[in-house]
Amino acid sequence: MSPTLFQRIIAREIPARIEHEDESSIVIHDIHPAAPVHLLIIPKQPIPRIGEATAADQALLGHLLLTAGTVAKKLKLAEGFRLVVNHGPHACESVPHLHIHLLGQRQMTWPPG
């Protein structure tokens, strides 16, 4: 199987605007933002989608959520932000590599989608 778009970004084969990086994750700006702030929090260890995560991925999944909070604080999103995880084509998943969308700096509506 060929590397996903995100694996190629992590390997620096494709450029991206990186907001944060650590040993377990990378946070990049979405190239098609749906909000003034729209970042993607991506684990370096590929997990195809959230429904395929296992108990062995628990610490990494927690790390991704904590990273979202850290980046939101850095970007001063105190008024609020939204985290979104898509699973499968009906959820508009475009890259089969788990990632969390961090959206902010605009009023979100409910219900989404």
Model confidence pLDDT, tens digit, residues 69-90: 999 999 999 899 999 999 988 8
User: Within 10 Å of residue 99's Cβ, how many Cβ atoms?
Assistant: 27
- Provide the annotated active-site residues: 99
b/e map of 43-78 (b: 16 or more CB within 10 Å)?
Answer: beeebebbeeeeeebeebbebbeebbeebbeebebe
User: Does 3.40.50.720 match the CATH number of domain 1-75?
Assistant: no
50: three-class secondary structure by DSSP = helix
pLDDT tens-digit readout, 21-61: 999 999 999 999 999 999 999 999 999 999 999 999 999 99
Q: Could you give the residue ranges of the DSSP H alpha helices within 1-111?
A: 5-10, 58-74
Domain boundaries, the chain: 1-75
Inter-residue contact 102 to 20 (CB < 8 Å): no
Residue 113 confidence (pLDDT) = 66
| Contact (CB, 8 A) for 72 and 15 | no
Does the structure show a pLDDT above 70 at 5?
yes
* CB-based contact 81:104 (threshold 8 Å): yes
Structure-token pair, residue 61 = 């999944």
